[in-house]
Structure 1
């Protein structure tokens, strides 16, 4: 089954480690085989890793793009353990378990999707603390 991507003008994506930029018009790409693809909105730069949940997301993203390398997995495991040791919300704990299971099953894109829930949870909590 092919994956159809519609790209906005000047939108970037990473395809199997290669950064691809669209030109000045909307474009459609069709990918016919399995590939590691991240759209610009899903790419996190190292300088943007500024919270515990983002410290979980980043090594998952690197595993997805570069393969299951132990240095990325070790960082993920450390950060997930730290995060889980300070939360008690059942829904957040369940999301952590989903992310961990996805990583263990090497479903990295799914792990990224589920990790975004942790980033949202964290942002909501931080917002509540600032009020």
Structure 2
């Protein structure tokens, strides 16, 4: 079954590692085979990985775009997920973390990214409630290559 993408004017996507930008009109693309696709709104730049969940998202995104994981990316993901889970007390959020970890281990990176975006919503609520400011990112190894992806 093909994947149908409707692109807004000038919207960017990453398609199998290539940045593709739509023209000045709305366009629909049909992808006939499996491909790694991220919309511009889902692409995270290195400097945007400035919260615990965003630091989890970034290495997963890199694994997804590359189609596989490197030891550095997986180690960064595992470290950040362990740190996050050590301070979370909500059973539902911990379950989501386990699901994300399971999906990363089985190479289902896109599903893991989708779950991670839900965690970002939870995190944003918690950070706003506690008045915590976003902190400067620590840079995962191997992440610099994606810095200018979009």
Q: Same fold by TM-score, threshold 0.5 exceeded?
A: yes
Matched residue SS, 1:24: coil
* Cα separation, 1, equivalents of 2:74 and 2:124: 24
Deviation of residue 117 (structure 1)?
1.4
**Please, which runs of 5 or more residues in structure 2 have no aligned partner?**
133-150
Residue in 1 that maps onto 2:11? 11
* Cα separation, 2, equivalents of 1:24 and 1:113: 28
* Cα separation, 2, equivalents of 1:83 and 1:130: 18
Residue in 1 that maps onto 2:40? 40
Residue in 1 that maps onto 2:25? 25
Residue in 2 that maps onto 1:91? 92
* Cα separation, 1, equivalents of 2:72 and 2:127: 29
Deviation of residue 9 (structure 1)?
0.2
Residue in 1 that maps onto 2:123? 122
Matched residue SS, 1:54: helix
* Cα separation, 2, equivalents of 1:19 and 1:87: 36
* Cα separation, 1, equivalents of 2:130 and 2:89: 16
For each residue in 1:22-55, what CA deviation from the matched residue of structure 2 results, as whole angstroms up to 9, or x when unmatched?
A: 0110001100000100011110111111100000
Moved over 6 A (4+): none
Q: Which has the higher contact order (CA 8 A, sep 6+)?
A: 2
**Please, which runs of 5 or more residues in structure 1 have no aligned partner?**
none
For each residue in 1:38-75, what CA deviation from the matched residue of structure 2 results, as whole angstroms up to 9, or x when unmatched?
A: 01111011111110000000000000011221111110
Per the normalisation by structure 1, the TM-score is 0.97
Matched residue SS, 1:10: coil
Higher helix share goes to which structure?
1
**What RMSD in Å do the two structures reach over aligned CA positions?**
1.1
* Cα separation, 1, equivalents of 2:27 and 2:96: 34
